[in-house]
Structure 1
């Protein structure tokens, strides 16, 4: 992948943790009666589903998120091993990667992880999450299926899937929630709910304001989340979901290393001159209907439609003095303001059958996305002339079949296959010359999977799986292709093997216990799509296929609960999430065996919380993060860092209060950065992480 050859080609871009839970596990015959990926799941059902997956699954409990400040996806995924999430740009924006997905300059694309809400797609048909990151506080649960373990969601991605389960009036009481603190953060949420016989409804209104810890970093967001359920009969129930989000954010831009050390609160000069913003108005409607055909078979049908309006000034004027002699003024050769409308329609079908020792799940996902609008010159945040007309489409059909077969009392064999058929069609028309850039292609593949589960004890499992990976390029990657013609990029393909164990052990004669969830995986990939920032058009990227890469790692989560004294009224609950990453090129003609950028070699996050029966809790938190590379050439090193925090709170019957201190030592560190080919010392690519901060939250339940 000789990206350096193309750098002169100007292209236009169009779990407070979730517990990985190990409760008293029922026997397999009871587990096999679980309905998979249909309806509104209880926590016990999610845990049972996890117990039948021969690979890594993590559960995030939305109630636990109310014990600490959760502003974005980084906060939500803090204790999920194998997922690297970081913020540092602004507001809701977070970079996230699972098992080495999205490790390049198109981090804004957010591809590699399929996002779903109640099993219905949020991610667009081409696989990007560019305009849409879920609000963590709007989820009752989130299920993180790592890598190929997302087969039961139909996902065809390197990183897997995250399914956000919506709270309903039947599992979430009315409440008022306030939080605020450093950097002008102020947020209020009010939830009203009603249950009347076979009908229930819930509405949440939310408003958020944030000034940010840098100049030109303000955020304003208003949201409405609503759903209503109706039990049509003893065997059929349906639920309607409505969402509206109006989110406006300023973007402070990236800094050089020198600028970050001198003053990490400053904004990039170009971001001020270009008035960089990221404003998205979203509405979504969805419906899911579940039919319990009989005690052994269930059918779920869902549809969704989401519309997004994006207004995104992102590149300031790039001026060139062509003759270099003056007095002729420099000429603007490039600036960028994206103004598009994106509409995604999706449908989902699930059929679950228990037949003797077999638990069979058949499913289908279909989605179609249309993006229309244009790229404009940017005049200080105002459209200043159309440069490119955008008319992009994508569709994706995923069909899958999984059988969880109990071959012996302690053994389950899980095997299945996914068929995927998708198309991409990028139409970028130069407004001045009328020229058409039109990379398009159809992608089809068959992805098998086989795994085994061994129940060593009542609450201890061993697992292993061998799976095929496949991911087609997004439309963003196609339109950023370094190739000068319309030939599309190839899809990424590979094979991954995973082994692991999870369980819980009670200490003899006590209520004390410790739990674990460990997975080791190794994936060999071909044609991985990687992108670097285009130096001739900052804020845009150049994409190409890489012959061979390796994605391997260790994901480990450890937790415990130890009583203090004889009366067991106080407990110490430590939690430790450990991620070890080995993502690298394999005998690449340009990069050899260099490490892939963006993800650290290791990430350790944990806490030690004291709790007592009166509802009080308190304890320290900590982060230890390894160095990262900001370039494919491994010349630019982003330093490792360690952070210390503290959180405390009091949980009573009808109210709860928490306080959280972050970065107590006020350590300067890098949150996110832009990936380049060869990093120069003066490159403007760094976004500082959060300085010392304090937050307070208060919740009233009714």
Structure 2
């Protein structure tokens, strides 16, 4: 008989409630908006010490994609921990991966493995997962990039084709409808209105035979505007068998249909061919870091991904507020020889209406967001014996189907001019269906499994703005992380097994402040998450590159500090207008099991307790800039949940410098790991390293000394 499982939390979701938030709010929308109290913009840059400008003089943006200043203001209006990164701050360095974009954001742990593969974790989301991302929603221009089951990777993100990045930690991502433990990261691409320049041509390269070319063109003609950008990258990589080739194209076309009505189409093509070097023993990772795992070479392990994306946003400026209608479709083809050849082809598609507006409620200002999301996807998942990177005998012929229906609302009620009460909630129903067609020697019997997750995630918070440039906030949020198919359809050498896991749920409490007083700027948040049924990963055999197994841990606790402080040390040192600044970023991660029957109160492996980054930045009005950097991990992370093996800490010195000429030409140099430190960048977590004969082959060495440089022309 087919196996069916239904996981329904205590707060079940009647289908009629999916639209109740919209229906019940209808009467207040008819009220005329009052004179809006404008709050001063608070800017605590995620990379303030580089001395880079915030960008060119802003235009007004457009209805579908506001100006960068408006984007920043919207992020900083959030009652909770958020961050905003202007792409101008990483234009003058070698930004090739998501780490290069987010490494200056406190609370975001992002470490490279190889190429564009890395670990991204916010507040312990997907903490022990050693591949791709879980527990964080990735968006581009506010429209989801994740597959319908919630899984995601970083191969569609081209740092050179971004205009800004918005980081909403934890439940603060409710503004997009996301309520996972880690929150959401929104990568915003430029339009012809918000681009740093109408035309950009760039070439850079350096260590590991790296070469990259980039172009961007944009035009505005009457009611129409268009922008297209493209990037091609080749790199042999630091390690053997790490060659990377990528081709990315992003484009958008906007048209003003009528006063207050605009539509915009987003198009993307992304092609990646990445060789995989595999993991090493701790000894080899520290002493022979350029080696590739022998299994990676004999299996010619790689990841070849081709993705096409089309999305549309049509925006209506109403008498009260604005209505956005989003729709999208993503086609993804994956050819991935690892322990077996994973061959997948799938579609993800969805629609998402969202209304946001400000109106008078009993004489008080009220800000309200209402939204619905319906998205689904089908993925044909096949597996074959890996014969030197080619398909051998087929071992799996399955279909993975996911669907999600969500309704959400977030309200800020300003009961005082400087104080707002925030309330919100999300109702959701998510289904995951796995169908193994069978008929193969390795999988002769057809199998079917189905699981549905439903619930409500509330949110409550308070925002106080005692001075125009200071905010203090506190909030409590409920999160729910639904397992993806990597969790549910677990793979090993014996086959694929469907494991009916529970959804991870948590209450997160946070308090913090952001602002600026004279020369001092800060962004500091303390948080604590009490997690139930945490989705914890471990790798049964990392040396063979078998995806991690997942289980529900009854109780875990995630708590920490997310802090960034910038001090302007001096100005006018060598002439009028120059500036010397010091930035300190500190991410403290205290993630533990709580009374676990196997692991007690041990630390959850995979992420170090303290991660620090220091940047001393100098910028001269002539365009010259210089920024020495220090990345310091005092003690490395545990490699196993039993806490028997810990990797060493490390300190990495870097230097970024360059000059921006008045004619639009820029030169830059980005030097990394100047002392050629040997260190472990990431880990494929195991349960107990002491029981692995010879020690686990679970470690990814960090890159050695490297230097990159480039030239950019903007005109």
TM-score by length of 1: 0.89
Q: Which of residues 112, 120, 125 is equivalent to 2:143? A: 120
What is the CA RMSD across the aligned residues, in angstroms? 2.2
Relative to structure 1, the CA distance from residue 309 to residue 300 in structure 2 (aligned partners, 3 Å threshold; closer, same or farther) is same
Distance 1:177 1:17 in 2: 24
* Alpha-carbon distance between aligned partners in 2 of 1:200 and 1:440, rounded to the nearest angstrom: 45
Deviations 1:494-535 (A, max 9, x none): 1111000000111xxxxxx22100000001010011121124
Q: 2:601 aligns with which of 584, 590, 593?
A: 593
Measured in 1, the distance between the counterparts of 2:497 and 2:207 equals 50
Question: How far does residue 156 in structure 1 lie from its aligned partner after superposition?
Answer: 2.4
Aligned counterparts of 1:83 and 1:342: Cα–Cα separation in 2? 30
1:52–1:700: structure 2 CA closer, same or farther, 3 Å change rule?
Answer: same
Any residues of structure 2 matched to 1:536-685 within 5 Å, and which? Answer: 538-561=545-568, 562-565=570-573, 568-625=576-633, 626-653=635-662, 654-679=664-689, 680=692, 681-685=694-698
Q: Could you tell me which of 662, 685, 699 is aligned with 1:686? A: 699
Structure 2 counterpart of 1:12 = none
Separation in structure 2 between the aligned mates of residue 189 and residue 390 of structure 1, nearest angstrom: 39
Per-residue deviation, 1:131:
7.1
**TM-superposed deviation, 1:133:** 4.7
What does 1:129-278 align with in structure 2 at a 5 Å threshold?
A: 129-130=152-153, 132-172=155-195, 173-278=198-303
Question: Is residue 530 from structure 1 mapped to residue 530 from structure 2 by the alignment?
Answer: no
Equivalent positions of 1:345-360 (< 5 A) are 345-356=349-360, 357-360=365-368
Does the 8 A contact of 2:590 with 2:603 survive in 1? Answer: yes
- 1:130: how far off? 4.1
Matching residue within 468, 471, 491 for 2:503: 491
Distance 1:440 1:407 in 2: 46
Cα gap change, 1:479/1:133 in structure 2, threshold over 3 Å: closer, same or farther? Answer: same
Q: Tell me, in whole angstroms, the C-alpha distance in 2 between the residues paired with 1:102 and 1:487.
A: 18
Q: In the TM superposition, what is the alpha-carbon distance from 1:440 to its structure 2 partner?
A: 1.9
CA contact (8 A) 1:241 1:286 kept: yes
Q: 1:672 to 1:145 in 2, by over 3 A?
A: same
Q: 1:439, 1:479 within 8 Å by CA — same for their partners in 2?
A: no
Q: Structure 2: which 5+ residue stretches go unaligned?
A: 1-43, 51-59
1:695 aligns with 2:702: no
Partner Cα separation in structure 1 for residue 636 and residue 462 of structure 2: 36
In structure 2, do the counterparts of structure 1 residues 109 and 394 end up closer, same or farther at CA, with 3 Å as the change threshold? farther
> For 1:12-54, what per-residue CA distance to the aligned partner results, in whole angstroms no more than 9, with x for missing partners?
xxx9954599xxxxxxxxxxxx99x982132222232233212
> Deviations for 1:177-233, whole angstroms, at most 9, x for unmatched residues?
111000111000011111111111111122110000111110111121111110111
Residue among 444, 451, 463 paired with 2:461:
451
Alignment of 1:358-369 (within 5 A): 358-369=366-377
Of 334, 338, 343 in structure 2, the residue corresponding to residue 310 of structure 1 is 334
Q: Distance in 1 between matches of 2:620 and 2:402?
A: 53
After superposition, the C-alpha distances for 1:573-594 in whole angstroms (9 at most, x for unaligned) are 2222110011010011110110
**Counterpart-to-counterpart distance in 1, 2:277 and 2:242:** 5
Say if 1:349 and 1:157 are closer, same or farther in 2 by CA, change over 3 A.
Answer: same
Q: Secondary structure at the match of 1:665?
A: coil
* Equivalence for 1:501: 513
Deviation at 1:259, TM superposition (A): 2.1
Distance (whole Å) between structure 2 residues aligned to residue 609 and residue 293 of structure 1: 44
Q: Distance in 1 between matches of 2:334 and 2:556?
A: 34
CA contact (8 A) 2:405 2:430 kept: yes
Deviates more, 1:430-439 or 1:641-650: 430-439
Contact 1:123/1:132 (<8 A) preserved? no
Higher mean C-alpha deviation, range 278-287 or range 676-685:
676-685
Distance in 2 of aligned mates of 1:20 and 1:396 = 42
User: Given the alignment, which residue of 113, 116, 121 partners 1:97?
Assistant: 121
Q: What is the CA–CA distance in structure 1 between the aligned matches of 2:154 and 2:323, rounded to whole Å?
A: 31
- Measured in 1, the distance between the counterparts of 2:260 and 2:652 equals 52
Q: Tell whether the 8 Å contact from 1:287 to 1:302 is kept in structure 2 after alignment.
A: yes
Cross-structure match for 1:82: 107
Please tell me whether the aligned partners of residues 109 and 476 of structure 1 are also in contact (alpha carbons under 8 angstroms): no
What residue is the counterpart of 2:11 in the other structure?
A: none
Tell me the SS of whatever aligns to 1:94.
strand
User: Are the equivalent residues in 1 in contact too, given 2:149–2:485 (CA < 8 A)?
Assistant: yes
Query: Post-superposition shift, 1:597?
Result: 1.0
Cα 1:20–1:291, aligned 2, differ >3 Å: closer, same or farther? Answer: farther
Q: Distance in 2 between matches of 1:575 and 1:476?
A: 38
- Give the Cα–Cα distance (whole angstroms) in 2 for the partners of residues 140 and 156 of structure 1: 25
CA distance in structure 2 between the partners assigned to 1:51 and 1:648 by the alignment: 30
Aligned partner (choices 384, 392, 395) of residue 400 of structure 2: 392
Specify the SS of the correspondent of 1:232. Answer: strand
Q: Contact 2:491 / 2:547 at 8 angstroms: preserved in 1?
A: no
SS state of the match for residue 289, structure 2? coil
CA contact (8 A) 2:49 2:627 kept: no
Are the counterparts in 1 of residues 490 and 499 from structure 2 also a CA contact under 8 Å?
no
Consecutive unaligned residues of structure 1, counting only runs of 5 or more, are 1-14, 22-33, 316-335, 507-512
DSSP-derived class of the 1:87 partner: strand
Asked if residue 476 in structure 1 is aligned to residue 486 in structure 2, the reply is: yes
How many angstroms apart in 2 are the aligned matches of 1:534 and 1:393?
A: 26
User: Structure 1 residues 300-309 or 433-442, which shifts more?
Assistant: 433-442
2: CA distance, partners of 1:683 / 1:75: 29
Structure-1 residue corresponding to 2:131: 108
| Matches of 2:580 and 2:537, distance apart in 1 | 46
Secondary structure of the residue aligned to 2:100 is helix
Structure 1 contact 186–210 (Cα < 8 Å) conserved: yes
Aligned to 1:299: 323
Distance in 1 separating the partners of 2:273 and 2:367: 46
Relative to structure 1, the CA distance from residue 413 to residue 210 in structure 2 (aligned partners, 3 Å threshold; closer, same or farther) is: same
Aligned to 2:82: 57
Q: Distance in 1 between matches of 2:273 and 2:76?
A: 41
Which residue, out of 335, 341, 358, partners 2:345?
Answer: 341
8 Å Cα contact 1:20-1:517 kept in structure 2:
no
Per-residue Cα deviation, 1:70-90 (whole angstroms, up to 9, x for no partner): 1111111111111110013x2
